[in-house]
């Protein structure tokens, strides 16, 4: 035990082998030993991180997108989001994604919180921001993006969650942080 938390000390990898490097993420095979000395091998997705933006209109409604997601073969309702570029400030990425995907700029971008998207196999951190003081501008979709901009009340969004209609994990996590008043100043994972 490490004495402070009651947990065993962190495991240290003794081998890291690159398996794949793509345009969005890489995969690394990590080998380490467990507490009993057994060799454990895990494939880990290495991701530069991403942002999710909760755009709030002056009337309190939320700007969302309906986005075609190839991986799951369907349209999903979600908050706009995007991958961080190397060394990019997450707040600047949030402003960029807001404009590209929704066609709005924001007078204010406020950090809400950070979470790991799927720490069982990936190191991706999702930085959540609230955008207010919205001004419409032309949308700047990337090649291949199919996005419809929609506006929903907070109550409508809560109803979608209750009925199981909102199934995008980053949107569920971001909305939960935002709805419960996360300040963005807590510990960063």
- Give the model confidence (pLDDT) of 62-99 as tens digits: 999 999 999 999 999 999 999 999 899 999 999 999 99
d(CA 105, CA 92): 11
Task: Please list the active-site residues.
Answer: 145
Reported as a single tens digit per residue, the pLDDT across 28-74 is: 999 998 888 899 999 999 999 999 999 999 999 999 999 999 999 99
- What pLDDT score does 187 carry? 45
d(CA 153, CA 176): 15
Q: pLDDT at residue 100 above 80?
A: yes
Among the listed residues 161, 168, 181, the one whose alpha carbon sits nearest the alpha carbon of residue 113: 181
pTM: 0.88
- What pLDDT score does 82 carry? 96
Among the listed residues 35, 38, 5, 31, the one whose alpha carbon sits nearest the alpha carbon of residue 16: 31
- What pLDDT score does 4 carry? 61
Reported as a single tens digit per residue, the pLDDT across 112-150 is: 999 999 999 999 999 999 999 999 999 988 888 889 999
- What pLDDT score does 26 carry? 92
Beta strand 125-136 with 50-55: parallel, antiparallel or unpaired? parallel
pLDDT tier, 182 (very low <50, low <70, confident <90, very high otherwise): low
Beta strand 81-83 with 147-152: parallel, antiparallel or unpaired? unpaired
Q: pLDDT at residue 186 above 60?
A: no
- All structural domains of the chain, each given as residue ranges with its CATH number in brackets, are 1-46 (no CATH), 50-179 (3.90.79.10)
- What pLDDT score does 183 carry? 60
Among the listed residues 64, 172, 157, the one whose alpha carbon sits nearest the alpha carbon of residue 126: 172
Helix (H), strand (E) counts: the chain? 3, 10
Strands of the 81-83 sheet, one edge to the other: 81-83, 50-55, 125-136, 104-116
Q: pLDDT at residue 2 above 50?
A: no
């Amino acid at each position: 035990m490490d004495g402070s938390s009651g947990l065993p000390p962190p495991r240290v990898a003794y081998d890291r082998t690159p398996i794949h490097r793509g345009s969005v993420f890489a995969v690394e095979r990590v080998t380490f030993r467990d507490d009993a000395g057994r060799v454990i091998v895990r494939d880990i997705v290495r991701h530069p991180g991403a942002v999710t933006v909760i755009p709030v209109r002056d009337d309190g409604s939320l700007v969302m997108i309906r986005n075609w997601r190839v991986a799951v073969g369907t349209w999903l309702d979600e908050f706009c989001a995007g991958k961080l570029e190397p060394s990019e400030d997450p707040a600047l990425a949030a402003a960029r994604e807001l404009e590209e995907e929704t066609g709005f700029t924001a007078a204010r971008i406020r950090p809400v919180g950070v979470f790991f998207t799927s720490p069982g196999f990936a190191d991706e951190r999702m930085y959540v921001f609230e955008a207010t003081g919205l001004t419409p501008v032309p949308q700047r979709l990337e090649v291949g993006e199919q996005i419809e901009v929609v506006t929903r009340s907070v109550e409508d969004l809560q109803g979608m969650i209750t009925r199981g209609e909102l199934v995008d994990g980053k949107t569920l996590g971001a909305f939960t942080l935002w709805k419960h008043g996360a300040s963005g100043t807590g510990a960063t994972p």
